[in-house]
Amino acid sequence: MERMKKIKCLILLMSCNHSFFKKEEDMVKQTWLKPIVDNKYDEFDYMFYTSGPTDFIDYTRHIIYVNSPDDWESTFIKTKQALNIINKEFDYDYIVRTNLSTYINIPLLQIIINSGALDAYKNNTLFGGQLIKNNDIFYPCGNFLLFSKHLAEEIIKSDINEIKADDYIIGKILTNYRKHIFKVVNINYGTMHQLYSDINDDLYNKIAISYRVYNFDSYETYYKLREIHEFHMLNKLHNHMLNIKIDVNNVMECLNYQNNVYFEHNVGFKQF
């Protein structure tokens, strides 16, 4: 990645130094991320991020190393430090923060990013996945978080440093700053097992599709099972999505439909 290259959207993928996730990085680069890896989308670039002994960017391999723990409970610290590095080094408009078990529909995301429909919200709104409530805090599920450089700055400057998952803390920060969180309903929240029977053309209009086998990253046996089942599902899903047929008019109608927005505790819901 060229340093300080102007891009519309940076795809930021959370990883860690476990061998399973390194294999999953390679799988992602061979499937939905490949057109960006091959520089076929001028609007996009990508970075994985993981822990390391010092803060460092490997531009050749597209990896950001941050001096933080690599466990699940420390993901907010890791994400906050990665955002701090990114905002110093890259010129971008939006970030999509995702994980390695979510399929991002890049052609659909390109339409949304280039439409300009998000620009009016960019300083005060995060677009996210399934909304969860915990201790009166609404936060979006961390498989898909779309937000602007301005909101990244809000996250970075926050003095909240709790040892908890980053999606929860990001929701807490934005609530404190009275920023909005819009739920994107065009996201597939189902488990991988549901996808076995639900891979169909409806997925073409989903901006993100989760294919994780287990909800918790625990024992080594789980990683072995995830490697077998998730990699199979990713390939099956990708082969289906190669035939993608997006109805651009339908997408733009959804983007321009303002009546499907309401607020409860500073949380909004908007359909893409």
Contact predicate 202/246, CB 8 Å: no
Which one is predicted more confidently, 27 or 217?
A: 27
List beta partners, residue 210.
102
Is the pLDDT at 267 greater than 80, yes or no?
no
Distance CA 156, CA 164 (A): 16
Q: Round to whole Å and give the CA distance between 79 and 179.
A: 19
pLDDT at 206 over 60: yes
User: Phi and psi at residue 37, in whole multiples of 5°?
Assistant: -55, -40
Alpha helices (H) in 158-198, listed in sequence order: 166-176, 192-198
Per-residue pLDDT band for 133 (boundaries 50, 70, 90) equals: confident
Q: Which helix (H) or strand (E) holds 144?
A: strand 144-148
Q: Which two tokens stand for residue 106?
A: 């890049």
- Residues 56 and 90 sit within 8 Å (Cβ to Cβ): no
Which run of H or of E encompasses 155?
helix 149-157
Distance CA 173, CA 169 (A): 6
The pLDDT assigned to 42 comes to: 92
Q: Average per-residue pLDDT in the chain?
A: 85
pLDDT tens across 89-128, in order?
999 999 999 999 999 999 999 998 998 888 888 888 899 8
pLDDT at 270: 64
pTM of the model: 0.91
Asked whether residue 259 carries a pLDDT value surpassing 50, the answer given is no
For the chain, the residue count is 272
For residue 24, pLDDT beyond 90? yes
Phi and psi torsions of 33, nearest 5°: -85, -10
pLDDT digits (tens, 9 = 90+) for 149-169: 999 999 999 988 777 889 999
Give the residue, 202 or 94, on which the prediction is more confident: 94
b/e code 57-76 from CB counts within 10 Å (16+ = b): beeeebbbbbebebeeebbb
Closest CA to 134 of 179, 164, 97: 164
Please report the pLDDT score of residue 57 as a whole number. Answer: 96
